[in-house]
Amino acid sequence: MLETPQNCTIHTIDTNWLGLPRYTAAYLLEGPGGLALVETGPFCSNDNIVAGVRALGHKPGDVRHVLVSHIHLDHAGAAWWWARQGSQVHVHEFGARHLVDPSVLMNSATRIYGDRMDFLWGRMEPIDAARVTAVHDGDVLEVAGLRIMAIETPGHARHHHAYALTTAEHGRVCFTGDVGAMIMPEGDFIAVPTPPPEFDLEAWLASLNRLEAMAFDVLYPSHFDRCRAEPNAYFRRLARALIAHAEFARQRIDRGAMREEIFRDLVDWQRQVAARLGTPDRLFQDYTVDHLLDMNVTGLMRYWTKKRESAGPA
């Protein structure tokens, strides 16, 4: 962990994706040497990020570096546009080639979302390879006059980094990407994203243990904004939620439940949890049922299928 405090102002910019406030954030970092953007959101909401940068008194071309936690479209979908404004894009080594040539990524997403692709995410265009920096675990990125460390944190996706730095104002800061899951705008409900094909419970728990050992003072999840809870207490709550989700799916798979039944049961269970933790049902519906839980069922079922295949015959 980088211990020397650095002068850094952190601005949260709301992507306002599909008109949903506080769903996905981009973070503009003002360092001694300029500006860096952590996450871009999808291209369909890029105008909101540009407006946020301008509202802070800057031009898009002033942003010289973009750091994305992973290549999912809600985190890196607009990275190509920022590269064309002059930004250097920093991304996990396993994801770099998919930003240079996004055809495989977009074809995979199109199989899932079909004719809703443009509405949900917008287009994604290739980035010149010279504008993409492949980042490895433990790399220290020198951007905007700051030193920021990449921490490999698989579980949500194999190609995932959290980013850490020590600031004079906030102490040890971690931008968690999706390894920090999703904090709802109201209440204490944690929405966990378990997408196919790479959700891996054991890897995610190991990532949380690694982050917990670093004793952060502040967390900034990409969904959304500064975490109100003490970081390590939050990581432990999240670990329990992940284990509960995986076990919930396993029990139903073991008794032969079909996908539709598992989805219905998951929605009912999570709705009760959200209500108990103070998240209004309208937010639960918009933020999790409409855009998360169907994907979660696919990821959970695929996880258990792969796990059993790797175990071999009983």
- Same domain, yes or no, for 137 and 208? yes
| Residue-wise pLDDT tens digits, 92-134 | 999 999 999 999 999 988 988 888 999 999 999 999 999 999 9
- Same domain, yes or no, for 155 and 261? no
Is 1 inside any structural domain? no
- Same domain, yes or no, for 192 and 120? yes
Is 3 inside any structural domain? no
- Same domain, yes or no, for 227 and 252? no
Is 198 inside any structural domain? yes
Name 71's Cβ contacts closer than 8 Å, sequence gap at least 6. Answer: 91, 92, 95, 98, 99, 105, 157, 159
Domain boundary among 188, 206, 238: 238
Total number of domains in the chain: 2
Extract the runs of DSSP E, i.e. beta strands, from the chain: 9-14, 25-31, 34-38, 63-67, 88-92, 132-135, 140-143, 146-152, 161-167, 171-183, 190-191, 218-223
Domain boundary among 217, 238, 259: 238
The answer to pTM > 0.75 is yes
What mean pLDDT do residues 289-305 have?
Answer: 95
- Same domain, yes or no, for 47 and 119? yes
The per-residue pLDDT for 312 is 67
| DSSP H or E segment with residue 205 | helix 201-213
- Same domain, yes or no, for 162 and 292? no
**Separation between Cα atoms, residue 109 and residue 80, nearest integer Å:** 17
Residue 189, domain extent: 9-238
The four Cα atoms 208, 49, 115, 261 give a dihedral, to 10 degrees, of 30
CATH number of the domain residue 78 falls in: 3.60.15.10
Quickly state the pLDDT bin for 310 (edges 50, 70, 90): confident
Specify which residues 162 forms β-bridges with: 151
Q: What is the DSSP letter of 23?
A: S
Is 4 inside any structural domain? no
- Same domain, yes or no, for 140 and 271? no
- Same domain, yes or no, for 145 and 199? yes
- Same domain, yes or no, for 153 and 256? no
- Same domain, yes or no, for 113 and 212? yes
| Residue-wise pLDDT tens digits, 212-268 | 999 999 999 999 999 999 999 999 999 999 999 999 999 999 999 999 999 999 999
Q: Reduce the DSSP state of residue 34 to 3 states and report it.
A: strand
**Separation between Cα atoms, residue 67 and residue 60, nearest integer Å:** 15
Give just the sign of the alpha carbon dihedral 161, 166, 170, 171.
positive
- Same domain, yes or no, for 135 and 264? no
Domain boundary among 215, 238, 261: 238
- Same domain, yes or no, for 55 and 192? yes
Is 26 inside any structural domain? yes
The per-residue pLDDT for 314 is 53
The per-residue pLDDT for 313 is 63
